[in-house]
């Protein structure tokens, strides 16, 4: 049966495919040793600086907040990838990490030699690479579906379904360690006295240990904590979303909801919940089905032109 990531995501459950990319040249290089993997990557490096993250070993490799939760426990800076790989191979006494680095920009040609079978429907996936030693990406969610390919070292993914959000105790909307809201709970040593609802999230968690060549597929908006378990680890991932590109990010809606809805009387909020269920979360065609096509306006299906018009209306209202 061919690998069909879109069909796997449609199940709305994480799925592991053992050894799916074990024949990739990058996987084979990693199995031959970290130095071989680094040499293979350097062959494709474009020379453009990437963002490297450094944290003290006292952090446990978890890239997170400082004690005040107003800054970070790590530093970030532009680095040359080849020199950074050499630093990583030298077994430094610190946690090093390069994440979400676009393959086609920084390692052109690597994707062509390491081909993921199957298609993504009408979407074109973004391919990224993640390289580091024993590091941890704190529990967070992404806007896109994800195909995560473990190509060197081992990784442990701990996943939680979206409905566990309240039990994960999300941190500030900003600043964030990597662009997305993260859980304040360390899944390896949860403080249940401080975060008691996390016990319920633990019951819903799914844990996957990936070996080189294994692939994990999971849907957008699933929370995931990612731990790299060896001194040299590489992950390649493919992100995609079937939503039209002209749509705005729902985070804009959430932020505006904080501004316009959250602090209203509860009775009003419940009435607005009914309106949102009707106009947004219910069947897309229902609000306009009883109206003539010429009168549907923003209730009609969106396209790039009508999306631009609607965005202009919103900006006009916000700027009053």
Whole-number pLDDT of residue 122: 67
CA 83-88-93 angle, to 5 degrees, is 125
Residue 86 CA to residue 39 CA, distance in Å, equals 10
5-240, CATH topology level:
Jelly Rolls (2.60.120)
pLDDT tens figures, 80-103: 999 999 999 998 999 999 998 999
Whole-number pLDDT of residue 117: 80
Whole-number pLDDT of residue 271: 97
Pick out the chain residues at pLDDT < 50: none
The two three-digit tokens of residue 86, written as one number: 């050499």
For the beta sheet containing 223-228, the strands, ordered from the edge strand earlier in sequence to the opposite edge, are: 62-63, 136-140, 223-228, 155-160, 206-210
Residue 253 CA to residue 158 CA, distance in Å, equals 28
- What ranges make up the beta strands (E) of the chain? 15-17, 50-56, 62-63, 74-79, 94-102, 126-132, 136-140, 145-152, 155-160, 206-210, 215-218, 223-228, 233-240
Omega before residue 67 within 30° of 0, cis: no
Whole-number pLDDT of residue 1: 55
**Domain spans of the chain?**
5-240, 250-318
Phi, psi of 97 (to 5 degrees): -160, 130
Q: pTM of this prediction?
A: 0.94
Cβ atoms within 10 Å of 216's Cβ, excluding its own: 24
């Amino acid at each position: 049966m061919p690998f069909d990531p879109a069909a796997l995501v449609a199940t709305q459950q994480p799925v592991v495919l053992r050894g799916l990319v074990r024949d990739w040249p990058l996987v084979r290089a990693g199995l031959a040793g970290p130095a071989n993997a680094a040499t293979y990557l350097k062959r494709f490096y474009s020379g453009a600086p990437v963002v490297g993250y450094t944290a003290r070993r006292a952090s446990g490799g978890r890239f997170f907040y400082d004690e005040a939760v107003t800054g970070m426990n790590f530093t970030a800076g532009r680095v040359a990838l080849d020199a950074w790989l050499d630093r990583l191979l030298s077994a430094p006494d610190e946690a090093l990490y390069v994440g979400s680095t676009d393959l086609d920009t920084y390692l052109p040609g690597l994707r062509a030699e390491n081909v993921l079978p199957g298609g993504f429907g009408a979407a074109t996936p973004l391919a990224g690479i993640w390289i580091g030693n024993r590091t941890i990406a704190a529990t967070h969610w992404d806007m896109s579906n994800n195909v995560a390919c473990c190509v060197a070292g081992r990784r442990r993914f701990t996943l939680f379904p979206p409905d566990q959000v309240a039990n994960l105790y999300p941190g500030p909307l900003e600043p964030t360690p990597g662009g997305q809201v993260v859980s304040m709970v360390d899944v390896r040593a949860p403080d249940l006295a401080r975060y008691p609802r996390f016990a319920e999230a633990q019951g819903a968690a799914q844990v996957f240990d990936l070996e080189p060549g294994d692939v994990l597929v999971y849907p957008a908006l699933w929370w995931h904590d990612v731990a790299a378990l060896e001194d040299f680890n590489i992950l390649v991932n493919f992100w995609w979303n079937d939503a039209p590109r002209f749509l705005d990010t729902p985070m804009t809606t959430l932020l505006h909801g904080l501004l316009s809805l959250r602090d209203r009387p509860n009775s009003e909020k419940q009435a607005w919940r009914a309106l949102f269920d009707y106009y947004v979360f219910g069947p897309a065609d229902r609000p306009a089905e009883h109206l003539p096509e010429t009168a549907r306006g923003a209730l009609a299906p969106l396209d790039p032109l009508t999306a631009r018009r609607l965005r202009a209306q919103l900006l006009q209202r916000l700027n009053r």
